[in-house]
Structure 1
Amino acid sequence: MAIIFAYPKNEILAEKISSRLNIPLGEIVISSFPDGDSYIRIDSNVKNKNVIIVCTLDHADNKALRLFFLAKNLRTHGAKNICLIAPYLPYMRQDKEFHFGESVNAKFFAEFLSVLFDSLITIDPHLHRIHDLHEIFKIKKISTLHATQKIAEWIKHHVENALIVGPDEESQQWVEEVAKQANASWIIMKKIRHSDNDVSITLPELTVTNQIPVFVDDIISTGTSMITATKKLIDLGFKQPICVTVHALFDDTAYQTILQSGVKQIVSCNTIKHTTNQIDISELIMNAIADH
């Protein structure tokens, strides 16, 4: 028998999964004492049950210790297995010691989660130098899901005559698949990142058409790449582009800055709660739960 728990601010996705799969929704209390220490209480019976925790891991530093306490508490009270549904998996861009002394946090965070959970479900983790999550995780059951089909469906139904634009060479395989499923043409930009807020963009030779550029990327945080590329495309005579992302990591300031650069619309999957959420990935997760 299974039971599902929603980490705070993950209730919408957890309730949707609970309702559609007829899995009871458990009750937990996660709060703070006046001195800032965490308080965790499980108000549902978990003995000999397969437990599912829904907790997307944006701002992971604020969640990790409480997630540790919750998982340990569930074990203490007899949970048989614990599956973590983390639609967004953090630290994956920190997959290399770029400068001497830097922490390879992708590896270390994977080790942290591997101690706590029996299985993991996530969506489009940022895989670059790490090609498969099993390279850094010791969790046996991992479902790495992809939002390409959902994104392609949204583009197909909402953008007429789209030109899919990839942010860099790394994105080509991903962008090509989205374009194929959306029946759209595509191009790839060349990007050199000098710092978080300093990016050089080179576009391939383009003939201006009436196509609508649609940037597709797995993560948008500062939006620097999108802003730089948007200005170049508009200067060439293209229509205002649309930005589509899996994980909306940008804050309100970055969101407004991207829009003010000339972007017509920003759309995201609901892996992280944001006003731009228009693409629902809950079906992907529900299909994967059966294997866990």
Structure 2
Amino acid sequence: MQRLIIALPGNEAFADQLAAACGAERGHLETRRFPDGESYVRLHSDVAGRAVDLVCTLARPDEQLAMLLFTADCARELGATEVNLVAPYLAYMRQDQRFNPGEAVSSLTFARVLSAHFDALLTVDPHLHRYPALSSLYTIPTATLHSAPLLADWIAANVERPLVVGPDGESEQWASAIASRIGAPCAVLRKTRHGDREVEIEQTDLGGYRDHTPVLVDDIASSGRTLLVAARQMLAQGLRRPECVVVHALLADEAHAALRQAFARVTSTDAVAHPSNRIALAPLFAQALLEGRRDPAA
């Protein structure tokens, strides 16, 4: 029996592509909000005896979580054999320890909630900073997908003589993998963060790459401050106007506008719906679903 792909509101385009890529049926979900703000969910597709994959990128999780959990429980109560979460962007990975006394470690709480309602979780490039793997906090099987090959192929096809640039030490291995795949040089900057919106990047001499096009690659762009500081540093050294390629574009309109002024082009995957989307992830997720791919056990 075909898989059933169901989109939470705002995820319809991604779900359509995913269903087409893996030969699955697209289910229909009715949602609305009552006058007091509570969520209403109704499944219009027969889920009994079927594997159900709910598509919901979690860029704004607080607005979506109740509706997502209601849908998952409803599918299970109506007889779905399994209920999986396809979350191209996985939220609440930032607060992975108690940095100050009394803080909530929200990544653990969020993981417990999702683990209690789904049979498996599929996501791409989660922000694993202090966790070695998703299995460190999720108790259900997970599939951690990687977009670096897709980013590398897009850069090779669209940028002349690229210089792949990672904005900080965390990005070194990732940026190197992208550069290696397309035979491009790679440089990694050194960043110091002084707050949510204040960053400092150590001066790095890139003057030897003036005949290349710098391509800043990053997993997440939210305020865009790191990318802006890096772009201005490269322009000050006489390099070509850089390109920006990110996985998760969490950019508000004003942040996107600022980046567009600094970069020749801003490009992202469609993990989060955004005007900069140019790299499709549905084939990556479809392959993982069809193969039943899961991360190795910890």
The TM-score range, normalised by the shorter chain, is: over 0.9
Matches of 2:150 and 2:179, distance apart in 1: 12
Structural mapping, 1:1-292, within 5 Å: 1=1, 2-139=3-140, 141-208=141-208, 209-260=210-261, 262-292=262-292
Give the CA deviation at 1:204: 2.6
Letter in 1 for 2:135: H
So what's the TM-score if we normalise by structure 2?
0.95
Letter in 2 for 1:137: Y
Matches of 1:251 and 1:281, distance apart in 2: 21
**What's the CA shift string for 1:53-109, capped at 9, x where partnerless?**
111110011001111111111121111100110000011121111111111111111
Give the CA deviation at 1:236: 0.9
Q: Classify the secondary structure of the residue corresponding to 2:246.
A: strand
Matches of 1:20 and 1:127, distance apart in 2: 28
Matches of 1:34 and 1:88, distance apart in 2: 29
Give the CA deviation at 1:291: 3.6
Letter in 2 for 1:51: V
Letter in 2 for 1:144: T
2:295 maps to: none
Matches of 1:20 and 1:125, distance apart in 2: 23
Give the CA deviation at 1:21: 2.2
Larger deviation: 173-182 or 101-110?
101-110
Higher relative contact order (CA 8 A, sep 6+): 2
2:296 maps to: none
**What's the CA shift string for 1:137-165, capped at 9, x where partnerless?**
000x2110000000000000111111111
Give the CA deviation at 1:206: 2.6
Runs (5+) with no aligned partner, structure 2: 293-298
1:156–1:183 contact (8 Å) kept in structure 2? no
Matches of 1:156 and 1:20, distance apart in 2: 24
Matches of 1:16 and 1:239, distance apart in 2: 35
Give the CA deviation at 1:272: 0.7
Matches of 1:91 and 1:270, distance apart in 2: 19
Q: Classify the secondary structure of the residue corresponding to 2:194.
A: strand
So what's the TM-score if we normalise by structure 1?
0.97
Letter in 2 for 1:132: A
Aligned residues, how many? 290
Matches of 1:160 and 1:290, distance apart in 2: 35
Matches of 1:112 and 1:203, distance apart in 2: 43
Matches of 2:94 and 2:37, distance apart in 1: 30
Runs (5+) with no aligned partner, structure 1: none
Q: Classify the secondary structure of the residue corresponding to 1:63.
A: helix
Give the CA deviation at 1:239: 1.0
Matches of 2:149 and 2:248, distance apart in 1: 15
1:188–1:203 contact (8 Å) kept in structure 2? no
Could you say what the CA RMSD is over the residues aligned between the two structures, in angstroms? Answer: 1.1
Matches of 2:203 and 2:49, distance apart in 1: 56
